Amino acid sequence: MRTLGLWKRFWSILDERLGLEALRYEVPEHGNTLAYTLGGITLFGFVILILTGIILTQFYHPHPAEANGSVRAIMTEVPLGSFIRSVHFWTAHAVVVSVVLHATRVFITAAYKRPREFNWLVGVALLAITIGFFFTGTVLKWDQESFEALEHNIEISNFLGVFGYFFSPGFAASVPLLTRLYSVHVSLLPLLLAFLLLAHVFYIRYFGISPLPWRTKAGTEWPEGPKQPFSNHAKKIAAYGMVVLAIVAVLAFAFPAPLGPEPIEGIEVTKPPWPFLWLFAIENIFGIQWLFPASLTPFLVLVVLPFVDRGDERDPRRRKAFVTLFLLGLAVLFALTLLAALTASRGHLGG
C-alpha cells in the first residue's frame, strides 16, 4: 500500500512535468486485438532494428574493399556480434511481414477512407521506406547477393536517365555507391522514417483508431463500443512485440544471418531475398527493363486507392469488387514469388 502511494506520487510528479496523463486517452477495445496492433508491432520491430543497427555501425566498414570483411569480423570476432547481426536480419524480415499484414488489414477494413486518406498515403510512403531499408541493408553485407542487387540498382538508374542519377555511380565519382547507400541506410531513410512515423502516429491519435467495418452505416459512424485507456493498447503492443522478439531471438540463435564470400564481378548466380523475388520472376519473363515499372505498380495502385474507392461503405462484404481485385493482386505477387523461389537463378544483367 505504501509502495502504491509512493508510485502514485512519483507518477503525479512526472505527469505534472511531462503530461503523461495525456497518454491515457481512450482507445476502442478492438484496437487491442492482434489485427489492429500490427502497426505497433512493426514499430516495435523498427526499434529493435535501430538498436541493433547502432551496434552494428560501430564495427561496419562501408567501403567495397572492407565491407564484407568487416561483416565477417562482426560475425566471428565481435562478442555477440553474430547474434546481434542475426537479430537485425530476422527482425528485418519480420518487419516486412508485419507491415504487409498491417497494410492488408487497413485495406480490408477500409481504414483508408475519409477522413484518413492522407494517413493512408503516409503509410504507403512508410511501406516504401521499409522496402528501401531492406534493399539497402541487403547491399551492405557486400557478398554476391549484395553485388548483384547493386548491379540491378545501377541498371534501373540507367533506364531512368536523369531521374536515376542519384542512384548511379556517376553521381559522386569519388565515393563508392556502396558507401552512399550506407549513408542512405543510416541517415536519410531513418530521418524520413522518423518524420513520417510522427505524422502517422499523430493522425492515428487525431482521427482515432478506425472503427470496425461492420459497425458503420453508410454516411454515419456507429458507436465504437467499450473503450480502454491507451496504456492497455501500449501494453498489448509491447506484449506482442516481445513475442516477436522472442521468435526472432530463437531464429537468430538457430539460423545465423547468412554471409557469402566477396563478390565476383560479371556473374549472376543469386536470387534476390524473398520480398523482391516476384521481381525476379518478372525479369525472367519480361526482361530487366520491366523491373522499375513492375516495382512501381503496387505503390501506384495503393496511392490512388482512396481516390478511386471513395464511397462511405467500409464493410468488405459490400466492397466485393475492390476486395477481389486486392486479393487477386496479392495472389499474383504470391504466385510470382513462389515461381521465382522454385526456379534456378539465371542472368539478366548486361543484356
Partner 1 sequence: MTDPIAKGTPSRCLPLLCLGALLGTVAFPVVAGHEGATSGSFGMGEFVMAPLEGKQGVTVDGKVTSGEYGPYGRWMDEDTGFTGNFAHDNDSLFVALSNPKPGWVALGFSSDLDVGMEFIVVGESGGRLQAVERVVSNLSGDLAFAAPPASDASPLETFNESGTGKNITVELRLSLRSSLWSLEPGNITPAIVAFNDTSLALPTNTAGSELHYLRFYPLRAQDDPGEVKRLFAMDTSPVPALVAMALLATGVAFFLRAFLWRRDGKESRVR
Q: How far is the CB of 281 from partner 1 (least distance, A)?
A: 6
Q: Which span (125-133, 164-172, 235-243, 315-323) binds partner 1, by CB under 8 A?
A: 315-323
Determine the Cα–Cα distance for residues 154 and 135; give it in Å rounded to an integer. 13
Site string for partner 1, 93-132 (x = CB under 8 A): x--xx--xx--xx--xx-----------------------
In angstroms, the Cα distances linking 219 to 98, 131, 295, 314 are: 31, 36, 36, 10
The three cell numbers of residue 266 are: 560479371
79: Cα separation from own chain's centroid: 28
Amino acid present at 87:
V
Stretches 58-66, 121-129, 229-237, 341-349: which one binds partner 1 (CB under 8 A)?
341-349
65 binds partner 1 (CB under 8 A): no
* Segment contacting partner 1 by CB under 8 A, of 69-77, 125-133, 201-209, 280-288: 280-288
Candidate list 285, 296, 300, 304; residue touching partner 1; CB under 8 A? 285
**Nearer CB in complex with partner 1: 51/330:** 330
Output the smallest distance, CB 313 to partner 1, in A: 12
Q: Is 244 in the site for partner 1 (CB under 8 A)?
A: no
Handedness of CA 171, 172, 176, 180 (dihedral sign): negative
Contacts with 213 (C-beta within 8 Å, 6 or more apart), sequence order: 108, 109, 110, 314, 315, 316
Regarding 184 and contact with partner 1 (CB under 8 A), the answer is: no
Instruction: Answer yes or no whether residue 284 interacts with partner 1 by CB under 8 A.
Output: yes
- Nearer CB in complex with partner 1: 175/267: 267
H helix or E strand, kind and range, residue 28: strand 26-28
Q: What is the DSSP string of 122-186?
A: HHHHHHHHHHHHHHHHHHHT-SHHHHHHHHHHHHHHHHHGGGGGGGSGGGGTTS-HHHHHHHIII
* Per-residue burial over 102-125, b = 16 or more CB atoms within 10 Å of its CB, e = otherwise: bbebbbbbbbbbeebeebbbbbbb
22 binds partner 1 (CB under 8 A): no
| Residue 64 makes contact with partner 1 by CB under 8 A | no
Interface with partner 1 (CB under 8 A), residue from 270, 294, 303, 322: 270
* Contacting residues toward partner 1, per CB under 8 A: 30, 33-36, 93, 96-97, 100-101, 104-105, 108-109, 144-145, 212-214, 260-261, 264-271, 273-275, 277, 281, 284-285, 316-318, 320, 323-324, 327-328, 330-332, 334-348
